[in-house]
Chains A and B, each alone.
Chain A
């Protein structure tokens, strides 16, 4: 089984330096793209590969690039932001890619920048990723010294500056338009769309924002061709980094064909549940995705299959709920997170999320009222997509509305017994 993204990653060891990366075939894709392909051809190759954004939204990457204004009339400078602000609770995949093979992430960034003919690229890195920051800084310097960055790259006449931008916290920065404001030195408040970043992004100029894992796929697609990518998995979308946390025997992260089933990931790779713990459910793709339960274990972890099952692939990193953990407490924890991380810009999110968290806390502490379940259900409607400025609050409602469905009995028991049965 091919594992292009993690083939050269050995946790616990120093990552490949420039020379090691080149010896392993690194920067060949960059040479191929710049010397043998036009920017349009690079975009088409990625479009044909059907690569979709790995940050959570799953938007087709090539399509995003194809929206960028090209040619002599395009506004300049154009920007690419490499979104390495991994902050979705339960998600730890980009950390591995950045720590384990920084040059792969940089090569993908440069090729993507070439496809959209960007002049400047930034890696927007979350503050907590200290080791990735150190390794990226070193790798960027090496890439400049080797002539893969800077002026007239590989003698093609195309120039690109790449800078590392380390943030100072807040989940909302991962939202692409909030990220634009953060980059510009403002509060990270989302912007209204349209205009989309490719129309008016950083400092009003055309901008593309792509996730780390997405960009790491790019060199391999260029090296091997789009057909290779579509043949790697049954769902025709390459590989995916899947993670599992919670009371399983071997929590961890694995690169597997896109569309591997939840059961295989949980049982074969994460080793199944720890002794004394029973599986009750799973949030398949980070905090802002809907719970799936036992009946969904054979669902394939690809964009379409997970959506058909009523959830989202999201980041592909699962959080497992076991029988010794209170589902109401878990949802309370999630809603508290979203309430705290709301940027405060729009009223439904700023007021609705703390309200939701307070109701859940009351239920958890045995002070829930019979009407609270209807109140919570109402919140999921009030904070539904398009009722708020961005996707934060609708995302927060996903685990809540699915918990109300799958764990209804547990909510009711809290209210009727006036206590948490797990305490």
Chain B
């Protein structure tokens, strides 16, 4: 399941640390970057590469919330629900998003386009409320902004 590219990218990190297992979180991220999430086969392959047991690695993979052990949609929307965003209108955004996408937090749209996840403080509180879509942080989010954002992704993906 690990592609040769995955393997090269993981092994590039070996010289940074005195042990192979120190690379394991990076390795999980490398796989996730290319494949969207980390399946059991990838866990077994990474564990073998890093000379760990699969169970040991899975205990780590399930600890860190940005490692996805279940399939996610093409785009992952992370809505900040920490205190500053909560004060500045998180609830309204969550309601708008769940209504518009027809899913609740933790779910993926039936067309596989979007996964909606709650998230802790994204460190942009002067622009609360904040959300992230994939690698992009969006601040001062309004319901109108969400509509434009989702439409933008739909157009970009050619739907």
Contact = CB atoms under 8 A, between A and B. Distances in A.
Interface residues on B, range: 35 or more
Shortest beta-carbon contacts, A-B, top 10? A168-B64, A245-B125, A89-B82, A169-B66, A245-B84, A89-B121, A251-B126, A185-B21, A169-B65, A185-B24
B67 interface: yes
Interface string B75-88: 00000011110111
A245 B128 contact: yes
A170 B83 contact: no
B62 to A, nearest CB: 9
Interface in B1-31: 16-19, 21-26, 28-29
Contacts of A167: 25, 64, 66
Interface in B88-116: 88
Contacts, number: 134
Interface in A316-336: 317, 319-322, 325, 329-330, 333-334
Nearest to B52: A185
28 contacts: A89-B121, A90-B83, A90-B84, A92-B126, A95-B123, A161-B16, A163-B16, A167-B25, A168-B64, A170-B63, A171-B120, A182-B25, A185-B17, A185-B22, A185-B24, A185-B25, A185-B50, A203-B19, A244-B126, A245-B125, A251-B127, A251-B128, A252-B126, A319-B83, A319-B84, A320-B87, A333-B81, A343-B63
Contacts of B159: none
A374 interface: no
Contact of B123 (A128, A182, A330, A334): A128
Interface in A143-186: 161, 163, 165-171, 182-186
A90 B85 CA distance: 9
A62 B128 CA distance: 36
A343 B82 CA distance: 18
A119 B127 CA distance: 39
Given A185-B24, A340-B120, 8 more contacts: A92-B126, A128-B137, A130-B136, A168-B64, A170-B63, A245-B87, A319-B84, A343-B63
A333 B137 CA distance: 22
A337 interface: yes
A127 B66 contact: yes
Interface in A79-131: 86-92, 94-95, 126-130
A184 B63 contact: no
Contact of A87 (B21, B26, B121): B121
Interface residues of A, number: 56
A165 to B, nearest CB: 8
Q: Which of B18, B23, B123 has the most CB of A within 10 A?
A: B123
B63 to A, nearest CB: 4
Given A252-B126, A340-B120, A245 B21 contact: no
B51 to A, nearest CB: 11
A95 B122 CA distance: 10
A26 B29 CA distance: 34
B125 A87 contact: no
Contact of A187 (B23, B50, B60, B65): B60
Nearest to A270: B126
A5 interface: no
Given A168-B28, A187-B63, A245-B88, A130 B137 contact: yes
